[in-house]
Structure 1
Amino acid sequence: MTPWGNSFNDTHLFLLTDDTGIFQHTRYSIPDLSKGYTTDDNARAFILGTMLYEEKRTKEYLTLVMRYLAFILYAQNDDGHFRNFMTYSREFTEDRGSEDCFGRCFWALSYGMASSRLPKGIKSACASAIKLALPQIPLLQSARGQAYAIIGLGLLGAEYDDIIKKLADSLAAQYEHCAAKTSWYWFEDMLTYDNALLPWALFVAFQQTKQVRFLQIAQQSLLFLDQATFQEGFFHPIGCTGWWPRGSNAALYDQQPVEASMATLAHIAAFKITGEKKMLSLAQQSFSWYLGKNSLGKSLIDPDTGGCFDGLTPTGVNENQGSESIVGYGIAKLALSAV
């Protein structure tokens, strides 16, 4: 059996979750209560919980699903936006989170709505939150907020294809503006975080609208990213200490687990939509970064709890095990095992 086909060790996921939601950060493997919670981490955890429930149909996973969804619903404002950062005392520290947070929440709610196995009450709660959020989607300006919204809308059916096209037109315009300057086939003047999300969204936009322009940009931008991040036979994500500005060199470290997760999911989508077997191979290579096929030859998975370490630094593994890391790993693992 392939490494991504083995069962998911959920010990750390349960350790990170209390009766409010999933904690944002840890000190090593212990939840860091001083850092509290975030809505976008609970949104991603809701997707993972849903995937686990769909696979196992157990009460324990359904409890996780309901807990994470309750957090998202509580975070939503009357205008459809979401608050993000919450202290351990359950107090939000802002009136509105970022558009990235909005997009992640919308993706999660759409994933729940599209599930064929979640109970009706959970799906109805997702639908009510989606209805409240929908008027805000045409107003999104950030590339990642738009991209997450496209992926979410793609799960909801053809009735939202006009909105998908408008969002994808905006992403395409951003890409064409940057690509027209030099051989820089990207959407911004710097590659930063959640990079593979952007081409992934345009693969979805092509699937929904059949606009060939979106497919071409998705393929060109993903190829550009792949040429920068697949080196010597393994995945080498762009580091967050400096990122990759146009005209400069890509940062080697710190490498973040979210990049391996997004790259895995984007290549799975590319494989499903285009049928190119190379995309599936690149998805597998992206995921193998977690397992030690990386620039340091170090596994990022804690063998005791199944937790995922928070990245690779120039001197070794970052031994903290935050929620973004384990949730991204789990989503990618389950998605790859289902292909």
Structure 2
Amino acid sequence: MTGPVPAVVFTHLLRMTDHRATFEHAKLTQPRREHGYCVDDMARVLIVATREPGSGGPVNGLAGKALGFLNDAQSYDGGCRNRMDSAGRWQDQPGTDDHWGRMVWALGTAAAHSDVSLVRRLATVQFERAAQTRSPHPRAMAFAAIGAAELLDVTPGHPAARALLTDYARSIPAAPQDPEWRWPEPRLRYANGALVEAMIATGVALDDPALLDRGLDLLEWLLDLETVDGHLSPTPVAGRGPGDRRPAFDQQPIEVASLADACARAATVDPRPAWPEGLRAAAAWFEGDNDLGMPMWDPSTGGGFDGLHGDRVNLNQGAESTLAALSTMQQARRFSPVPQ
């Protein structure tokens, strides 16, 4: 992408949202109400809504709705439920899987970036409740660490945020010794960008130069691996290992958004041009600079398409894909010209 990044438009996200929350799935542009709502998506709603500069009433309303949903999902010991049906009934018990980590990420982001003082205060209270516990899952802890780093950036010395980051740093596995496969897992899985973003954010927050450098180096390796013929070709749903053929499908927008978030984080602490270039490549993936040469979102409404298959685009516009597109454009606009 060489020109300005398209504007962030919330039309479709608002269409997907009722009085309670944002529906998880869509049939083309229409919400599939029968599938209900989830914390994973409402955490993403809170992140996107609170980091949008100068957001107006409808976007602030999304943030308030997300904050209320996450509060209702939480238990007193820090865990949270994930799924609610369309009638407002929770369908599971509190836990600390990925949805918990995304919730902590969202609460830290809202506490740091919301334009509304009440949202900042309530998000901080909820963050402190959630940060009482820990997750055994590496990605959940990485998501939570990103939120803790956001909060610590605006509230230096915040004890719950610092304790969470310290525990996360201790949990990071040692770097593998294989120079050809530097990833800390045998295969790339999902939300890979979040693992390196968490390393970068934690390295900065805890003043750990070695961890920061490891995160930056690993992000550079990941971007190189995920780039084919000058465009992004992200890890498919089945993962990616050494020697796997590329391109591979199905590709999910959330993987591109994860890379964009990591590049945006890196760009704030390292002046190399690779990070703004990575952001532009992520935005360009949605615009059609991908393995099929087909757009992955509708810029007129902000709706994101649900997946890139080997022969077509999945034109359903669910919440996760829509939020991935909006998040990517937000991040890319921070380091790119704004259209006049």
TM-score (norm 2): 0.91
1:55-66 equivalent positions in 2, closer than 5 A: 55-56=54-55, 58-66=56-64
Deviations 1:171-206 (A, max 9, x none): 2x2x42xx1356321121221111111111111111
The runs of 5 or more residues in structure 2 that have no matched partner are 336-340
Structure with more helix by fraction: 1
TM superposition shift of 1:234: 0.4
Q: In the alignment, what sits opposite 2:222?
A: 225
1:63 aligned partner, one-letter code = G
Verify the 8 A CA contact 2:50 2:63 in the aligned structure 1: yes
User: Which of 209, 212, 227 does residue 212 from structure 1 map onto?
Assistant: 209
Residue 148 (1) aligns with residue 143 (2): yes
Deviations 1:237-276 (A, max 9, x none): 0111x21135644670001001111111111111211111
TM superposition shift of 1:121: 2.2
1:223 and 1:151, CA in 2 relative to 1: closer, same or farther beyond 3 A? same
Runs of 4+ in structure 1 over 4 Å off: 1-4, 246-251
1:164-313 equivalent positions in 2, closer than 5 A: 164-171=165-172, 173=173, 175-176=174-175, 179-180=176-177, 183-240=180-237, 242-246=238-242, 248-249=244-245, 252-302=248-298, 305-313=301-309
Equivalent-residue separation in structure 2 for 1:212 and 1:143 (angstroms):
21
Verify the 8 A CA contact 1:244 1:250 in the aligned structure 2: no
Deviations 1:25-64 (A, max 9, x none): 1111110112111011011011112233x323x2222211
TM superposition shift of 1:281: 0.8
Q: In the alignment, what sits opposite 2:47?
A: 47
Pairwise CA RMSD of aligned residues? 2.0
Identity %: 27
Equivalent-residue separation in structure 1 for 2:209 and 2:284 (angstroms):
31
Question: Which is further off, 298-307 or 274-283?
Answer: 298-307
Aligned residues: 329
Aligned with 1:190: secondary structure?
coil
2:306 aligned partner, one-letter code = D
Question: Which is further off, 259-268 or 249-258?
Answer: 249-258
TM superposition shift of 1:4: 5.5
Equivalent-residue separation in structure 2 for 1:170 and 1:231 (angstroms):
32
Verify the 8 A CA contact 2:104 2:143 in the aligned structure 1: yes
Q: In the alignment, what sits opposite 1:317?
A: 313
TM superposition shift of 1:313: 0.2
TM-score (norm 1): 0.91
Equivalent-residue separation in structure 2 for 1:304 and 1:274 (angstroms):
33
2:36 aligned partner, one-letter code = G
Q: In the alignment, what sits opposite 2:122?
A: 125
Equivalent-residue separation in structure 1 for 2:21 and 2:39 (angstroms):
9
Equivalent-residue separation in structure 2 for 1:2 and 1:22 (angstroms):
33
Verify the 8 A CA contact 2:200 2:212 in the aligned structure 1: yes
